[in-house]
């Protein structure tokens, strides 16, 4: 094992990763590029993506087309980062978007942003495809006990504001914290493997992740644990 092989070079500079999105303005008319490879359109805001996802649950194909244009190239990029060949990455991007269509009725805009929800679908399909494994999960309606004592949905930050604060928190991570976060999400590594890859003690990786999550938690207003 090539221990200590640093991959800092893999980690793109934070500034380019954490670019702010332009805002919620975008062209909502017409279907983008049917019959053509879809192009990314102007970045929509988190709230309008959520609205589209809710519309997809009612069978709205124009909303689906907008989600496709926005997410398919990003899911492909996610799969590529995790080492998938281009064709496989596109297959999985398609599977992810098909799953978005099929499961749209399960999406609750009060609980998660559209990107969060799409991420979990892509993650699970990636695990299934890459490792032939499942990702055991807990669904909200199957909880054993304890009603969540979270604030009701209308007290949560609205989607766009939440997304902005989350980006602000990401930008506030130190380079070391950002590195372990990115290795967690884009290198298919759990913390012990990250420690080995970076050749730092496991406790260091754990505390970087803990501090990173503390910043995220604070930004999202959940800093009480």
Partner 1 sequence: MTARHLSAAQPPRPNHHPSDALLVAYGAGGLGEGLSLAVAVHLAHCPDCRAILAEVEALGGALLEDLPPAPLESLSLAATLDRLDCEEAPANPCKALRIRPRRVPQWHGMAAPGAAPDAIPALPSPLPHPLRAYVPSLDGLSWQRLAPGVRRVELLPRTANGGAAQLLRIAPGTALPHHGHGGLELTVVLSGHFADELGRYGSGDLAEVDGDTNHQPIADSHRDCVCLIATDAPLRFTGLMGRLMQPFIGL
Q: What residues numbered 131-150 form the site for partner 1, per CB under 8 A? A: 131-139, 141-150
CA distance 48 to 71: 13
Which residues in the 96-115 window bind partner 1 by CB under 8 A?
97-98, 101, 111-115
What does the per-residue mask of binding to partner 1 show for 80-99, with x meaning CB under 8 A?
xx----xx-xxx-xxx-xx-
CB of 160 to partner 1, least distance (A): 12
First to last CA, the chain: 38
CB of 77 to partner 1, least distance (A): 4
CB of 56 to partner 1, least distance (A): 11
Which residues in the 148-207 window bind partner 1 by CB under 8 A?
148-150, 162-163, 166-167, 170, 181-182, 184-186, 188-193, 202, 205-206
Burial grade of 15 (CB within 10 A; 0-12, 13-18, 19 or more): exposed
DSSP letter for 13, please: -
Could you give the count of Cα atoms lying within 13 Å of 51 in the half-sphere of its Cβ? 10
Site membership for partner 1, residue 29 (CB under 8 A) = no
CB of 6 to partner 1, least distance (A): 19
What does the per-residue mask of binding to partner 1 show for 40-69, with x meaning CB under 8 A?
x--------------------x--xx--xx
Which residues make Cβ contacts (< 8 Å) with residue 141, sequence separation at least 6? none
Q: Which is nearer to partner 1, 55 or 214 (CB)?
A: 214
Among 109, 122, 197, 198, binds partner 1 (CB under 8 A): 122
Burial grade of 3 (CB within 10 A; 0-12, 13-18, 19 or more): exposed
CA distance 167 to 19: 8
Distance, CA of 51 to chain centre: 17
| Residue 95 · residue 125 · CB < 8 Å | yes
Among 8, 15, 34, 58, binds partner 1 (CB under 8 A): 34
Q: Which stretch binds partner 1 (CB under 8 A): 2-10, 22-30, 124-132?
A: 124-132
Distance, CA of 73 to chain centre: 13
């Amino acid at each position: 094992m090539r221990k200590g092989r640093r991959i800092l070079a893999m980690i793109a500079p934070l500034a380019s990763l954490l670019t702010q999105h332009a805002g919620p303005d975008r062209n909502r008319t017409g279907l983008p590029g049917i019959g053509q490879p879809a192009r990314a359109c102007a970045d929509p805001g988190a709230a309008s993506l959520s609205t589209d996802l809710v519309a997809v649950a009612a069978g709205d194909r124009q909303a689906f087309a907008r989600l496709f244009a926005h997410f398919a190239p990003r899911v492909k990029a996610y799969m590529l980062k995790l080492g998938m060949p281009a064709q496989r990455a596109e297959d999985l991007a398609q599977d992810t978007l098909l799953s978005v269509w099929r499961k749209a009725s399960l999406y609750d805009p009060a609980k998660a942003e559209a990107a969060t929800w799409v991420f979990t679908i892509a993650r699970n399909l990636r695990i299934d495809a890459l490792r032939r494994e499942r990702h055991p999960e807990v669904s909200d309606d199957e909880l054993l006990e304890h009603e969540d004592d979270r604030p009701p949905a209308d007290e949560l930050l609205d989607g766009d504001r939440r997304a902005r604060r989350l980006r602000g928190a990401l930008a506030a991570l130190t380079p070391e914290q950002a590195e372990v976060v990115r290795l967690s999400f884009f290198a298919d590594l759990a913390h012990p493997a990250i420690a080995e890859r970076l050749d730092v003690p496991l406790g260091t990786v754990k505390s970087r992740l803990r501090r990173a999550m503390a910043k995220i938690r604070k930004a999202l207003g959940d800093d009480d644990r």
